[in-house]
Amino acid sequence: MIEMKAKIERAIYEASMALDNNNWAGWLSLCDEEFNYKITAFSPEINKDMIYFEHNKGELANLLDMLPKHNTDHSPLFRHTSVYTVDVSESGTEARATSSVVVFQNMLDGVNSHLDSGESRLFLVGRYHDTFTITDGVVKFVTRETRLENRRLDKGSHYPI
């Protein structure tokens, strides 16, 4: 069980590194075919749970393939992830984990590159709520809910968090 928890932690950190590197194919390779991804937040302003983004694996792949055809702020996002809890089912075939995530934006081209490039700004704060399937010792993400504490998102992003 301890070994499986370590594998799950490793999958979460590998996902963070793949996302940091805009390695979308590498990120999606860590995900099950049934993968569902959400970015959510609670708004005290309107007193509602909100979904800011939701895609399945196929939709994500299409979206990420089209990124070069969009005008995007290319400032890299850099995630600081800390795994808080990992719970593996008794059968050993499923697991869930909660991690804290802080996302910095390393300014490149978003506003005034002469002044801003090279600076890191706090972009988002939240938690990853992940579920996994475990088959023959291989861990795959089945769902990820990136639960944000932010509602002020300024320019936003074309990148998954």
Partner 1 sequence: MPARNHKQWTANPPLKDGEWINSRIYSDPEIAQEENEKIFKNMWVPVCHESELPAPYDFRTTSIANENIIICRGPDNEVRAFLNVCPHRGMLIERRPSGSFMEGQASGNPKRITCMFHAWQFDMKGNCVYVAREKEGYQDRLCKEQVGLRRLRCEVKFGGFVWINLNDNPSVSLEDWAGEPFECLRKTLDEEPLEVFHYHKAIIDTNYKLWHDTNSEFYHDFMHYHNRVTGFNDAYFARKNEAFDHGHVVVGTFEVNYENYEGFESRADLSFPHLPPNQWYMVDLFPGFNFNLRGSALRCDTVTPLGPDKVLIEFRGLGLKSDSPEDRMTRIKHHNSIWGPFGRNLHEDLIGVAGQGTTMRPDTEPRRILHGRQENQTIHDENGMRHYYEEWGRWMDRSPIAPDMPFSDRDDGSQVVNAE
- The residues that touch partner 1, with contacts defined as CB under 8 A, are 39, 41, 43-48, 50-54, 59, 62-63, 66, 69-73, 110-112, 151-161
Shortest distance (Å) from residue 64 CB to partner 1: 11
Between 132 and 159, CB nearer to partner 1: 159
Between 33 and 65, CB nearer to partner 1: 65
Tell me the three state secondary structure of residue 150.
coil
Between 135 and 152, CB nearer to partner 1: 152
Between 26 and 110, CB nearer to partner 1: 110
| 132 neighbors 10 (Cβ within 8 angstroms) | no
Task: For Cα atoms 78, 81, 82, give the angle at the middle one, nearest 5 degrees.
Answer: 160
Shortest distance (Å) from residue 117 CB to partner 1: 13
Shortest distance (Å) from residue 59 CB to partner 1: 6
| Ramachandran angles phi, psi of 29, nearest 5° | -70, -20
Between 1 and 70, CB nearer to partner 1: 70
Q: How far apart are CA 30 and CA 33, in angstroms?
A: 10
Closest C-alpha to 160, from 97, 82, 103, 83: 103
Residues 6 or more apart whose CB falls under 8 angstroms from that of 65 comprise none
Q: How far apart are CA 7 and CA 48, in angstroms?
A: 35
CB atoms within 10 A of CB 96: 16
